[in-house]
Structure formats: C-alpha cells, structure tokens
Structure 1
Amino acid sequence: MRTTTVGELRILLPELDPDDLDTISDPTDDLSDATIENVSWRGGTLDGVTIRGSRLVGVDVSESGWEGGSLFGCEITRADFSGTTLSGISIERCAITGSRFTGIRLTDVRLKDVLFEGCRFDYASFTRVAAAGAVAFVDCLLTDATWSSCRLPNTVLRSCQLARLELDSCQLHGADLRGNGLHDLKTGLGNLHGVTLDEDQLPDLTHLAVQDLHLTVRKR
C-alpha cells in the first residue's frame, strides 16, 4: 500500500505498474487499467465516465463537461482541466501533479485520499465540494479562486498561494493552513473556525479580524 504524509495527514495513493496498463486514447464509459498519454478530449462530454487504476499524462480535458462518474486509483500528471465543468463526480485515491485547473468549476464533487501537488487552481470555483477523507494541496496556486459552501475538514494546504481566495459558508474545522500567507484571503472569520495556524500567521489573522469586524485602528 502506497501512502504519503503531508503535515499530520496520511494519504492513501495509487500504486500502478505501467507494464500492467493498456494504452487507450478514446474515452468510454469505463476506462480501467489504462495509460492515457498526450490525448486531447478538449471540449468533449464525459458524462458518466469512470476511470480506474489508470495513468493520465499530458491529457487535455479543457473546456469539457463531466457529470457523474468517478476517478479512482489514478495518477494524473501535467493534465489540462482549464475551463472544465465537473459536477457530481467522485475523486478517490488519486495523485494529481503539475496539472492546470484554471477557471475550472467543481460542483457537488466528493474527494477522498487525494493529493494535489504543484497544480494551478487560479480563478477556480468550488461549490459544495466535500472531503470524505484525506485531502492535501501542496505548492498549489489558488489565487482568485472561490470556495462556496464547501465541507473540507482536516484538509491540509502547504506552501500554497492564496491571494484573493474567497471563502463563503465553508466548513474547514481541523484544516491545517500552516505555511501559507493568509493576508489577502477574502473571508470572514467564521470560515476559519477550528483551523490550525502557526505563530507567524497571527499578524495575517489580525488583519483579517480587523477587516471582518470593520474595526477602526488609530494611534493613541
């Protein structure tokens, strides 16, 4: 069993042997045990598609629509999901690295044992995204993104860029936000209830409190 640890979070990851995978280029309703490399599904419709135990490398899924279906036990590298709409899908036990999710729209997506590393989520929209297990973002770009009504308890964010990330009606209790700049977050304090911070982030938290409470700070 392959695992990785981010902070205090242990994540189960896929363990794939490339020699056991078949090369596939066309999407079907059920893709299993496949290598899918440098394939373009740009602008396509992937509704109900399930991909299991597969490697996706350099795949272009940008501007596509994907409703229902799932990703399970997959390694995804250098994929492009820019402008894609994901709705009602499940992503479980996946390692996703160096991929682009600029402007993606995720609605009612379920995450469990998912590691995003070195990915771009700028201008992404997360709506009712829920973590049912371990989820981590490492060295990810989340600037100008929006998280609305998301349930992401115990999620870990490490060394991420969060400038102008907007949080609205989110539950992040137990989330570990250490190692990120929080100064430019667009959020009320309620969205940060129960999160873990380090001492160096307290000035950023003070700044957010002054904004949220509409305080006037004057010199004596």
Structure 2
Amino acid sequence: MRLPPLVPYAGEGLEPDGDYDGVRFDGVDLADASGRGARFMDCALDGCALDRTELGRARFIDSVLTGVRGVGTDLAEASLRDVEVVDARLGGVQLHGAVLERVVVRGGKIDYLNLRKARLKDVVFEGCVLSEPDFGDAHLVRVEFRDCVLKRADFSAVRMESVDLRTVAELDIARGVDRLAGAVISPAQLMELAPAFAAQIGVRVEA
C-alpha cells in the first residue's frame, strides 16, 4: 500500500471520535489511550504500543500498521478497510463484531484473537501465527490463510464462502470442524482432519 506524505504525530494519547488524516504514529506509546470511534485515514502506525488501547468502533481506512504490539487491545465493532497489518505482536485482541474488508495480515503473531460475529471479506492472513483464534459465528467471504499457522482455532457457528485453507502450514481446529462447508482444503489436510470428520458424524474407525 502506498501512502501519501504523512505528518508526524505530535500529540499525546488519542481522542474519542478523533479524526486522524495522513498522520504517522512512529513508536508512539498508546497504551491505555482511548480513541473509541476515532477515524484513521491514510495513516501509518509504526512500532506503537497498543496495550489496553480502546479503539472500539474506530475506523481504519487506507492505513498500514507495522510492528504494533500490545495486550488487550479493544477493537470491538471496528471497521478496517484497505488496511495492512504487518509483523504485529498482539495478545487478546478484541475484534468481535468488527468488519474487515480488503485487509492483509502479514507476519507476526496474534494470540487469542477474538473475531466472534465479525465479518471478513477479501481478507488474507499470510505467514502469521494465530494462536487460539475465535471465529465463532463470524462470516468469512473470500478469505485466504496463506502459509500461516492456526493453533486451536474455533470455527463454531462460522459461515464460510470461498475460504482457502490449502496452504495453511499448520491447521489445528479445536471446535467447528463441521462448519468447514464453503472452505477449500488440500488432500493432505483432508487426511489429517478425517478423524475429526468421522467423530462429527458418529463414525467409529477401528482396525
């Protein structure tokens, strides 16, 4: 993504319902800041701390988040459109009820990602590690997991349309294996998931 010339952020923290247009947040400590409902357009967040940052219902448009880190970041019901998230190190991120459209998550590691009831459209997870992500009751349309690791993923009540799991490096589904209708998997993944599929429909496999 190409951003226009950006203005360095010179403020402190964030403002609820704030309007940030063409701003670069370079290494800014945003821990415990409250930017609920804020709008970020053509912005770059580089190496920012997002511990417990409140960004519920915030809007990120045409923006890049690189090397952000933090625990307990609140992005519930946020909207991300045309956004890149690169090499993030996050834990316990709340994205339930959020809308992600044309988003790329590349590299990094995100633990306990909460995407319950979220809507994802044209989203790519590439080369990242998602540990215990929760997609419960989410709606995924044209979502690709490319060369990434999914550990203990929860797909309970999820709806999938054109979801590509074929190149997942490690596919570990804790719940919701019965909700993979609409997904594409590889023959090798089919063999790995066969016991879970059999258990789901009540088939006993014995030698």
Greater Cα offset, 111-120 or 20-29: 20-29
Letter aligned with residue 176 of structure 2: G
Deviation at 1:203, TM superposition (A): 0.7
The 3-state SS of whatever aligns with 1:74 is strand
Secondary structure of 1:209's aligned partner: helix
**Are 1:147 and 2:135 an aligned pair?**
yes
Q: What amino acid sits opposite 1:21 in the alignment?
A: L
Change (3 A) 1:211 1:136: same
Partner Cα distance (1:134, 1:73) in 2: 15
Match of 1:11 in 2: none
Give 1:102 deviation, angstroms: 1.4
Residue matched to 2:87: 98
What is the rounded CA distance, in whole Å, between the counterparts of 1:202 and 1:91 in structure 2?
32
CA contact 2:56–2:78 (8 Å) conserved in 1: yes
- Structure 2 CA distance for aligned equivalents of residues 181 and 208 of structure 1: 18
Letter in 2 for 1:103: G
Q: Which runs of 5+ in 1 are unaligned?
A: 1-13
* Contact map agreement 2:28 2:48 (CA 8 A) in 1: yes
Residue correspondences, number: 203
CA distance in 2, matches of 1:193, 1:97: 29
**Residue of 31, 34, 56 corresponding to 1:67:** 56
The 8 Å contact of residues 182 and 201 in structure 1, kept in 2 or not, is answered as no
Distance 1:34 1:180 in 2: 35
Q: CA 1:172 to 1:156, structure 2 compared with 1: closer, same or farther past 3 Å?
A: same
Matched with 2:98 is 109
Shift of the alpha carbon at 1:187?
2.7
* 5+ residue gaps, structure 2: none
Q: Map residues 1-220 of structure 1 onto 2, 5 A cutoff.
A: 14-17=1-4, 20-26=5-11, 27-28=14-15, 29-131=18-120, 133-180=121-168, 184-219=172-207
Q: Which digits, 9 at most, give the CA deviation of each residue in 1:133-186, with x for residues without a partner?
A: 310000111122221110012100011111211111101221000112565311
CA contact 2:50–2:68 (8 Å) conserved in 1: yes
SS at 1:154's partner residue? strand
Amino acid at match of 1:74: S
TM-score, normalized by length of structure 1? 0.86
- The one-letter code matched in structure 2 to 1:89 is A
Superposed CA offset, 1:30-60 (max 9, x none): 1111111000110121111111101110011
Distance 2:78 2:172 in 1: 31
Q: Give every structure 1 segment of 4 or more consecutive aligned residues whose post-TM-superposition deviation is greater than 6 Å.
A: none
3-state SS in 2 of match to 1:210: helix
Q: Which has the higher strand share?
A: 2
User: Could you tell me how far apart the structure 2 residues matched to 1:211 and 1:86 are?
Assistant: 36
- Could you say what secondary structure the match of 1:205 adopts? helix
Counterpart secondary structure, 2:69:
coil
Summarize the Cα distance change of 1:75–1:183 in structure 2 as closer, same or farther, 3 Å threshold: closer
Question: What is the alpha-carbon distance in structure 1 between the residues aligned to residue 122 and residue 6 of structure 2?
Answer: 26
Contact 1:117 1:140 in 2 (8 A): yes
Cα RMSD of the aligned pairs, angstroms, is 1.6
